[in-house]
Structure 1
Amino acid sequence: RLADRIPLSQLKRFNAIPIRENDLSVTVAFMDPLNIEAQEALQRLFPRKPIDIAIATEKQIQTYLFKIELKDSVKELVINIRNELNSLGKDQKHDQAQASSILLLIDVILKACIKNRASDIHIEPTENNCTVRARVDGKLSEIFIFDKDIYPPLASRLKILANLDIAERRKPQDGRFSAKVGEREFDFRFSTLPIMYGESIVMRVLDKEKALIRLEDAGMDEVGYKKLHTALKSPFGIILVTGPTGSGKTTTLYGALNELRSVEDKVITVEDPVEYRMNLIQQVQVHANVGLSFADALRSILRQDPDKIMIGEIRDHETLEIAIKAALTGHLVLSTLHTNDAISAIPRMIDMGIEPYLISGSLVAIQAQRLIRKICPFCKTEEHIPLSVIEPYKHFLPHDMVFYKGKGCRECNGVGYMGREMISEVLPISEELGSMIARGASKEELVEQARKEGFEPMFANGMKKVVNGTTTLEEILRVAKV
């Protein structure tokens, strides 16, 4: 490795990174290409080859140096872990989770994954090794590969942090722990699953700052935000957020709670699990193993004199029935449902055994949403798309449309995307729509009426993000349906 031939301290001091070497020269990128002292110092390390100068931003250099430092730290820690394990006698192997270097390795893993903006961390044993992968912007990428002897102490120590039974490897376990990573505090939702070569471990990263997100900062366009904001001002009724797993529904609910919480109102949530802890809100954790289901918790909540209720997810008829009754008796209820679009939530509730007239009388608004990846701002470039591809969507696009894509760079790990944003469709239930629901109108009739009232489907909302250069046409076609 070219970087191994230059001391890391010098690279940090001069804000420089070596890029490539050939038979004639060595190319080094500097933040300051006019720093003669830096050039001369690095030239002395390559006496037989001249240095070619390139330019890089401070962020690019710091990201690269962080990765070098990370790899060096991991190599050293793995050696230390092996030495510590070897120093234990055969009858002391149960103490392997206490090896001090294991804690340092966990710290490195968490730092690396959070630096990469991971939403989930996967630690998976295989026949020959142990892989650590991070889900970034909805896609998994490999961060580390360790030899398989590192996995047992790593898994045991993580289970201790999550307050789980380290001896139980035959059935799944769930837990939670908090850790300071860098200067910030994070919560980690922890899950194990027995697999062929050990236990698959998944940690959901819960950034406490995200609990303070505002709806207008989540990527909602102005029209959709106003519709949802108006619905949240309703004195009673039910508001549903729909979408598949991982579409940001919980984040939207927390954003709505931020708008609702007040010393004048009693706001209670029932969640499985409680992801973010919030002030001025009473949060109930579902515990199925002791008989506290969503429905059981809701019945008790209604005796607590609430003004507003948030239900993490409506999973069955009983929970939906109690939620509808709560909405009809003067409470504002927020919850989520698994449907592909907003209008599909209505037939879904009917399928779950709720009478149409009850839905009509209680439903205030439905928001369906997805998360799309945003083009990396560091490698954003114009893209030519053939007319044959654009043709089916040209009525969404201006005539002089310029398309963009990310060509891939170090900042985005070569993916071309960085960060995610919401696309959504918001359906307020008007008097006419309510009447149609009560008399059992079909989904097609409801869609037609919604469009008359100015309803914008999610695909159209997504195409606006293509037009303004936020994302690519390919990404919208991957996520949303015309």
Structure 2
Amino acid sequence: QDGRIELNIAGRPVDLRVSTLPTMYGESVVMRVLDRGQVSLDLEQIGLRSKDLEIIRKLILKPNGIILVTGPTGSGKTTTLYSCLNEANDPMTKIITTEDPVEYNIDGIVQIPINEDIGVTYAACLRAILRQDPDKILVGEIRDLETAQIAVEASLTGHIVFSTLHTNDAPSSVIRLVDLGIEAFLLTATVEAVVAQRLVRRVCSECKEEFEPTDEVLMELELTRSDVQGRTFFYGKGCKVCNGSGYKGRIALFEIMMMSDRLRDLIMDGASTQEIQNAAREEGMQTLRDAGLIHIYDGVTTIEEVVKETIVS
């Protein structure tokens, strides 16, 4: 079973997402804490660098198309999507979302919770939304072919659609949609961009210290000693502020793949994920690992965090 608990702790609104599962020895319970008082839906505050922020703002203003945000559960996809909608939210723009569940309540946006037990699925909800004259649509997740097809239909009829997928990186999302059954010519005509993201922990500013990584550690990033000459690395030794963990807070890593004529041609030709990724990198795409390295060099996070959350591209 899944459920939600709303609490008010010391004047701060806190949501608990609760999941229970019966086991041989009793209930297994997992609770995800969403501190709404700590969440900023300001696009400038989610960790985008100035170049990426400019790209995202241009995407939000597009009159039609599909914008996908991809990553595992808990990688910050919802916060990114809501920040995009919050940026676009004004009295002249009708925004409708369908979610499972509704994570944040935003004034001025029509939000519809999914309830599959009574037939309110993503696909059914999205069909109904198209009859409500929306300007921008958020679909919590593209889970099946029917939802993907309706999202494509919405895009082709003059709507901008935001949604999520669960893939390892941006290029994989294209292959995922093809595997679902979306024809390549429809995909290339509708998808404008794919944003992959991960969350890594920030090294604690109160106890961080410089250190010299070993060659073995550098190999985990596929770097050599000459690659990092002149660079400074940090780790958190642990203190009261960070409860001895060496980390305090999190920051997002972003990988933004903009669709281009070259990428569209590759997709139409049935190119592999690696071929699409290579072409995207040649056109300037920064991978998740690249973004992680920048934060390592800036002293924001550690090698261990980036190795754990990203893969070599």
Structure 2 counterpart of 1:409: 239
Q: 8 Å contact 1:271–1:285 — kept in the other structure?
A: yes
Structure 1, unmatched stretches of 5+, are 1-171
SS in 2 for 1:349: helix
Residue among 39, 49, 52 paired with 1:224: 52
State the SS of the aligned residue for 1:343. Answer: helix
Question: Partner residue of 2:295?
Answer: 465
1:301 to 110, 129, 137: 129
Rounded to whole Å, the distance in 1 between the matches of 2:90 and 2:264 is 30
Unaligned runs of 5+ in 2: none
Equivalent in the alignment of 1:454: 284
- Structure 1 residues 278-320: Cα deviation after superposition (integer angstroms, max 9, x where no partner): 1110000001111111101011011111110001111111111
- In the other structure, the counterpart of 1:381 is 209
Equivalent position of 2:260 in the other structure: 430
1:314 aligns with 2:129: no
> 2:267 is matched by which residue type in structure 1?
I
Secondary structure, aligned partner of 1:413: coil
Q: Distance in 1 between matches of 2:152 and 2:130?
A: 12
- Give the C-alpha shift of residue 211 in structure 1: 5.7
- C-alpha spacing 1:177/1:294, structure 2 compared with 1 (3 Å): same
> Amino acid of the residue matched to residue 193 of structure 1?
L
**AA matched with 2:235:** K
1:233-382 pair list within 5 angstroms: 233-382=61-210
Question: Helix, strand or coil: the match of 1:368?
Answer: strand
1:439 aligns to what? 269
CA contact (8 A) 1:396 1:463 kept: no
Cα pair distance change 1:194/1:387, threshold 3 Å: closer
Q: Provide Cα deviations, 1:362-409, integer angstroms capped at 9, x if missing partner.
A: 000000111101101111111121234325324995421111100011
Amino acid at match of 2:238: G
- Determine which structure has more spread, i.e. the larger CA radius of gyration: 1
Identity %: 46
Contact 1:212 1:258 in 2 (8 A): no
Give 1:77's aligned residue. Answer: none
TM-superposition CA deviations, 1:320-373 (whole Å, max 9, x none): 110111111100000000110100111111000000000000000000111101
CA distance in 2, matches of 1:229, 1:478: 30
- Equivalent residue letter for 2:4: R
- Report whether the alignment pairs 1:421 with 2:251: yes
Letter in 2 for 1:469: G
Point out which structure has higher relative CO (alpha carbons under 8 A, 6+ apart).
Answer: 2
**Deviations for 1:90-144, whole angstroms, at most 9, x for unmatched residues?**
xxxxxxxxxxxxxxxxxxxxxxxxxxxxxxxxxxxxxxxxxxxxxxxxxxxxxxx
Alignment check: 8 A CA contact 1:210 1:251 kept: no
SS in 1 for 2:96: strand
Contact in 2 for aligned 1:228/1:365 (Cα 8 Å):
no
Amino acid aligned to 1:289: D
Deviations 1:414-471 (A, max 9, x none): 1111111101110111233223323333333322321221111110110000000001
Check conservation: 1:314, 1:337, Cα contact below 8 A.
yes
Q: Which moved more, 1:337-346 or 1:441-450?
A: 441-450
Bigger fraction of residues in helix: 1
User: CA offset at residue 210 of structure 1?
Assistant: 5.3
Is the 1:367–1:426 Cα contact (8 Å) retained in structure 2? yes
Alignment deviations for residues 53-111 of structure 1 (CA, whole Å, 9 cap, x no partner)? xxxxxxxxxxxxxxxxxxxxxxxxxxxxxxxxxxxxxxxxxxxxxxxxxxxxxxxxxxx
Deviation at 1:475, TM superposition (A): 1.3
TM score, norm. by length of structure 1: 0.62
> In the alignment, is the contact (CA less than 8 A) between 2:203 and 2:246 conserved in 1?
yes
**Counterpart Cα distance in 1 of 2:201 and 2:217:** 20
| Distance in 2 of aligned mates of 1:396 and 1:320 | 46
Task: Report the counterpart of residue 307 of structure 2 in structure 1.
Answer: 477
Alignment of 1:188 with 2:28, yes or no, is no
Q: Secondary structure at the match of 1:393?
A: coil
* Count, aligned residues: 310
**1: CA distance between counterparts of 2:254 and 2:70?**
10
1:203 equivalent in structure 2: 31
**Conserved in 2, the CA contact under 8 Å of 1:236 and 1:333?**
yes
Question: C-alpha separation between the residues in 2 aligned to 1:225 and 1:346?
Answer: 22
| Kept in 2: contact 1:397–1:467 (CA 8 A) | no
